[in-house]
Amino acid sequence: MTSSAAPLPHVLFDLDGTLTDPYEGITRCLQHALSELGHDIRTQIELRSCIGPPLRQTFASLLATDDSELIERAVAHYRERFFSVGLFENELYAGTIEMLEALQRNGHRMFIVTSKVASAASRIIEYFGIAQFFERVYGSDLDGRFDDKGELIAHVLIENGLHPSHCVMVGDRLHDIQAARRNEMSSIGATWGFAVDDELSVAGATCLCSDPTRLP
């Protein structure tokens, strides 16, 4: 990702499914929330595809409802377990640190841009010892502001004075790719994450990558 003819691209990283594997934590917290609501509990495998989208969107789908009060109750139950336990039921993908070191060495500015609550994302990267690689951590607010990743990316661009043509979004779900396209930004689909079938290519990823250490 270097070029002598153009500015070095600024790299916007998704977190879940891109830098870390939160499968255990997220699926167990989803199960906890469903149980607290007296709803049928899905298996962890069945909940795998729920990793990535905004939490409120996930519960609207799982509960088959648009009842905002019920969705907020589900979110509250999820977070009561997540912030105390689920946050740390997580692990770095192999090659993540090597990838970040190489990007830093080559002069790329890096940011976290996640649908996860920003404060939780900050705790996670500090826990794994990778916070020093990132200028800023951007995520949603507890009240749902910036749940929409396209709006979040636009906010990141404005706040940091970045031009989309000098940036690339790296993420593992279609929401990352679609959000990048809405902001006229290139994207790299991380196929080592939680994408289902060919969702990244269908969503329009500029290119795909199967291993963090092979990031273009």
**Per-residue pLDDT reduced to its tens digit, 49-103:** 999 888 999 999 999 999 999 999 999 999 999 999 999 999 999 999 999 999 9
pLDDT at position 1 is 57
Structure confidence by residue, pLDDT tens digits, 34-58: 999 999 999 999 999 999 888 999 9
Whether the full predicted model's pTM is greater than 0.75, yes or no, is yes
We find that the CATH architecture of domain 10-21+91-214 is 3-Layer(aba) Sandwich (3.40)
Distance CA 187, CA 208 (A): 9
Angle of helix 68-82 versus helix 23-36 axis, rounded to 10:
130
- Measured at the CA of 7, the angle between CA 177 and CA 95, to 5 degrees, comes to 55
- Enumerate residues 6+ apart whose C-beta is below 8 A from 143: none
CATH label, 23-88, candidates 3.10.450.350, 3.30.70.980, 1.20.1260.10, 1.10.150.240: 1.10.150.240
pLDDT at position 146 is 87
Nearest in space to 97 (alpha carbons), one of 123, 122, 132:
132
Nearest in space to 196 (alpha carbons), one of 179, 169, 170, 175:
175
pLDDT at 116 over 70: yes
Active site residue 147: no
Q: Domain segments of the chain: what residues? A: 10-21+91-214, 23-88
pLDDT grade for 4, boundaries at 50, 70 and 90? very low
Structure tokens belonging to residue 40: 């049928």
Strand partners, 167: 10
Name the CA radius of gyration of the chain, rounded: 17
Nearest in space to 11 (alpha carbons), one of 136, 120, 173:
136
